Chains A and B, each alone.
Chain A
């Protein structure tokens, strides 16, 4: 089942004109604030009526301005996970979880409920009220409440934005499991490249109310046109498989035509592992550097150069068939004479490996 969205909406000076398809898995709506992400999600949820367009889940039409179809929110079969949890304060956790089931057409099986409670680890909270929960617990309950409404479409509007780093890494794995265990499309709003890198099956990059780029996470995040030139943020995603574990505690990952050495990853050889490389953690050299402690020095070819107005430049690289981004200063780009098509060497300083549980940015062995 997939979600089809075609919208145009105008309020004040802001014009939204976007269409995309969200397949099974997590589709991340990615863009700066004010790019129209929340407007799109609210239109899909029926909380905002767009001027024109069409929204459908599979062959269920939620909105079609041409045919004058407008399904009210409560008949759209959604699971909406809000940034601010929005649990009902007068109900216990148990009652909050059951709320959507009261209204679901086919009464859910109790093993569903047990499985979701187990998956989210909220069994001990059932008799508490939302006022007595921590931010992370509240958000987990909100995820459970959305899932138990037996949705045909899950919407999440920056569900982690209000949480600190520790809570974020507490919740992220649940979204990964959700992505891998449900067949329902998930539309996930975020402006965090790290979340996109970890969760996205596909990415819709929005800019000023328009779809700037759409595709798989590796394609979109590796495109320097999509990522802003400001400090931080930009970074590419590599799909890798675990090749071997070395006795000195390093794991070798195979990414297309190149190998990466990272601190031990607790996965068997052959397992697929997604790696996030932030652009600021990639150095460039025009000759193979010698006498350097970095282990990951990879031959690369410059595909594109994007020099902004500031002191920074973003370089898109082809590394053994993978797209990689490197952030260098404009001065370095000039001094090294970087240009499209040039063969260079990429030195990786750090990567993030999405493990089971907590994924952190780890400095690479050198």
Chain B
């Protein structure tokens, strides 16, 4: 890539990887949590709802610091994971975790809304035709909420690409390891003569964001048409 310096390119590639993993890793959990919030009644539902939305409301620095406390090598979860060879602190995996958690509320919101839009009567019809609850979910609910899942995933991906505060607090700003697009732009702006690099990365950010948005628009329209049964 001649348009970008190797250092800039590294930040772009890392950001894409972090955002992709943040999105893919978050999806199964996001779908489960969204389903639970939309369809189940259980004690502590409001607490779960609050926890999911917390990253949206807390200052990102606070989220990053809490991550550092729990997932750092000395944290209660981090130390256990370290024993089985999984390290988050100051690694790109940590950046993905931070981005995933920050993007989680947006993802769950979109998916939950589309699950609530599915008529439970259709799911009942599936059950009367012999489909177990798991099959009903796989053959009726999931296909019908696909547009919502896609919207949630794209939203989460965009949020993960732009995550800055929690990431830099949790995993710092190590070039090639944890320096994502926003932290690279921030770093370039801190040194004299870095404006040109920063500007190029800003353009890249805008292009990626627009592409993602348009892609989601096209895909969700196509799926919505299929699901609407026309």
Contacts and interface: CB of A to CB of B under 8 A. Distances in A.
Interface of A: 45-47, 72-80, 82, 84, 86-91, 99-100, 102-104, 129-132, 145-146, 149, 155
B130 A90 contact: no
A129 B139 CA distance: 16
10 contacts: A47-B124, A47-B127, A74-B135, A77-B130, A78-B129, A82-B121, A82-B125, A88-B125, A89-B122, A99-B131
Interface stretch (B100-108, B202-210, B221-229): B221-229
Contacts of A149: 128-130
Interface in B187-226: 226
Contacts of A80: 125, 128-129
Contacts of A79: 128-129
B143 interface: yes
Interface centre among A46, A82, A102, A103 (most CB of B within 10 A): A103
Given A132-B229, A146-B128, 12 more contacts: A46-B127, A47-B124, A84-B121, A86-B124, A86-B125, A90-B229, A91-B229, A100-B129, A103-B129, A103-B130, A129-B230, A149-B130
A74 B140 contact: no
A220 B153 CA distance: 60
Given A88-B140, A90-B143, A104 B130 contact: yes
Given A88-B122, A103-B135, A74 B229 contact: no
B132 interface: yes
Nearest to A142: B125
B185 interface: no
9 nearest A-B residue pairs (beta carbon): A103-B130, A89-B229, A131-B229, A100-B129, A80-B128, A129-B229, A86-B125, A73-B127, A131-B230
A90 B145 CA distance: 11
Interface of B: 121-122, 124-133, 135-136, 139-140, 143-144, 226-230
A79 B127 CA distance: 10
Given A132-B229, A132-B230, A86 B130 contact: no
Contacts of B227: 89-90
Given A82-B121, A84-B121, A90 B127 contact: no
Nearest to A76: B128
Contacts of A102: 130-131
Contact of A103 (B122, B131, B228): B131
B121 A74 contact: no
A86 B131 contact: no
Interface centre among B131, B136, B228, B229 (most CB of A within 10 A): B229
Given A131-B228, A131-B230, A74 B144 contact: no
Contacts of B122: 86, 88-89
Contacts of A73: 124, 127-128
A338 B88 CA distance: 94
Contacts of B139: 99
Interface centre among B121, B130, B132 (most CB of A within 10 A): B130
Nearest to A78: B128
Contact of B129 (A46, A130, A131, A145): A145
A152 to B, nearest CB: 11
A160 B34 CA distance: 36
A180 B129 CA distance: 23
Contacts of B228: 89, 131
B226 to A, nearest CB: 6
A109 B129 CA distance: 17
A130 B228 CA distance: 9
Contacts of B130: 74-75, 77, 100, 102-104, 149
B119 to A, nearest CB: 8
Nearest to B119: A86
Contacts of A77: 130
A132 B228 CA distance: 10
A46 B126 CA distance: 13
Contacts of B136: 74
A103 B138 CA distance: 13
B229 A45 contact: no
A186 to B, nearest CB: 14
Nearest to A149: B129
A105 to B, nearest CB: 9
A151 to B, nearest CB: 9
A62 to B, nearest CB: 12
Contacts of B128: 45, 47, 73-74, 76, 78-80, 146, 149, 155
Interface centre among A73, A76, A84, A149 (most CB of B within 10 A): A73
A47 B126 CA distance: 12
B129 A99 contact: yes
Nearest to B226: A90
A104 B129 CA distance: 8
A356 to B, nearest CB: 30
A99 B121 CA distance: 16
Contacts of A75: 130
Interface centre among B129, B139, B140 (most CB of A within 10 A): B129
Contact of B127 (A74, A129, A145): A74
B124 A130 contact: no
Nearest to A105: B130
